[in-house]
Amino acid sequence: MSAKVFKIDNLQYCNWSKEIFEINREAKLDAVHATVVYHENFSEFKKNMEIWNNHFQNYKELIFPGKTFDDIEKANNENKTAIFFGFQNCSPIEDDIGLVEEVYKMGIRFMQLTYNNQSLLATGCYEENDSGVTRMGKEVIKEMNRLGIVVDMSHSAEKSTLDAIKISSKPIAITHANPSFWFAAKRNKSNEVLKALADSGGMIGLSLYPHHLKDKSNCTLESFCEMSAKTAELIGVKHIGIGSDLCIGHPNSVVNWMRNGTWTKTKDYGEGSSTDANFPKQPNWFEDARGFKNLEQGLKKVGFQDTEVNDILGNNWYNFYRGINT
């Protein structure tokens, strides 16, 4: 275990710019897991990576691509942010298991088996029936384990998530969600899932996305931190981190695309509604990554020790990253 203190946000999908990279540096984030896919196929994913390569070239004083836990240490030493890439859908591998290795070579370190809907690999949390991890899903999990891509079940249904925990030879992650005992959103996770996740060495990144929060945009810092404490009592503090799910800087057309992609001709509102169709407003204590400072203070106020706060805000994710390739 490292004696250093790291800060890691293990899920952001922002409208990336120099300003946002500077905000993440002001927040002292050593690593960010950035979503590069929602619905894209392999060719479209490659175009997204071209954009990121330009970011790395243009803002090399702020960011660089992360591949292993060593890059988190490098970022900490150089006052930069290591960017780790992930998919919120398995769409780029299409129906070809050989593409799993190709996306790994291109820098992917996390992949969700589903994004709300049924996929070739598993069932999403919005489906009425959850048939669990599929035949192809089992094979893809093996390949992900071999290569060092983390299985992410953030948007998956209950049985599929429990299946993935059992099938995977390495700990999986739920990078951005909250416990359903606090707020029963479709995307939040049951006690059974959380306990199975922790028992297998996995991690949950607690989400700051308003649709996952009790009282949504009006959620208080105290409520969030009390939930964090109850989650620590349930599964142990070592299995908890932050996956903010920040989506700042995007026009509202992007959230419509996130929900609908190319799979429907009718308008799906996901966790929103026809009267609440846009990106929700962030709580005023976490408008961007600089809210990590408020989290630090709030977690201490509900009784976490300094070392436990450091664990939640980054060190637990750092130790999880250490295990990805071991």
DSSP assignment of 50-92 equals: HHHHHHHHHTTTTEEE--SHHHHHHHHHHT-EEEEEEESSSGG
Q: Give 204: exposed, middle or buried? Use CB within 10 Å, 0-12, 13-18, 19+.
A: buried
Dump strand ranges (E) for 213-289: 240-242
CB contact burial 235-259 (16+ within 10 A = b; e otherwise): bebbbbbbbbbbbbbeeeeebbebb
d(CA 146, CA 91): 20
Q: Going by C-beta distance under 8 Å and a sequence separation of 6 or more, which residues neighbour residue 147?
A: 100, 101, 104
- Residue 83 counted as domain residue: yes
Number of H helices and E strands in the chain, helices first, is 12, 9
**Among residues 229, 247, 246, 249, which one has the least CA distance to residue 308?**
229
Q: Which domain holds residue 88?
A: 8-324
- Residue 2 counted as domain residue: no
d(CA 284, CA 218): 8
- Residue 1 counted as domain residue: no
What pLDDT is recorded for position 262?
Answer: 82
Do residues 6 and 30 lie in contact, with contact meaning Cβ atoms separated by under 8 Å?
Answer: yes
What is the total count of domains within the chain?
A: 1
Which residues in the chain land under pLDDT 50? 1
Instruction: Say if strands 108-112 and 31-37 run parallel, antiparallel, or are unpaired.
Output: unpaired
- Residue 281 counted as domain residue: yes
- Residue 118 counted as domain residue: yes
d(CA 166, CA 9): 26
Kindly report whether the global pTM for this prediction surpasses the value 0.85: yes
Do residues 312 and 228 lie in contact, with contact meaning Cβ atoms separated by under 8 Å?
Answer: yes
Name beta bridge partners: 84: 33
What pLDDT is recorded for position 1?
Answer: 46
Q: Give 273: exposed, middle or buried? Use CB within 10 Å, 0-12, 13-18, 19+.
A: exposed
Largest CA distance in the chain: 52
- Residue 94 counted as domain residue: yes
Q: Where are the alpha helices (DSSP H) in 109-190?
A: 135-147, 158-167
What pLDDT is recorded for position 35?
Answer: 97
Query: For residue 62, what is the domain's CATH number?
Result: 3.20.20.140
- Residue 65 counted as domain residue: yes
- Residue 20 counted as domain residue: yes
> Which DSSP helix (H) or strand (E) runs through 36?
strand 31-37
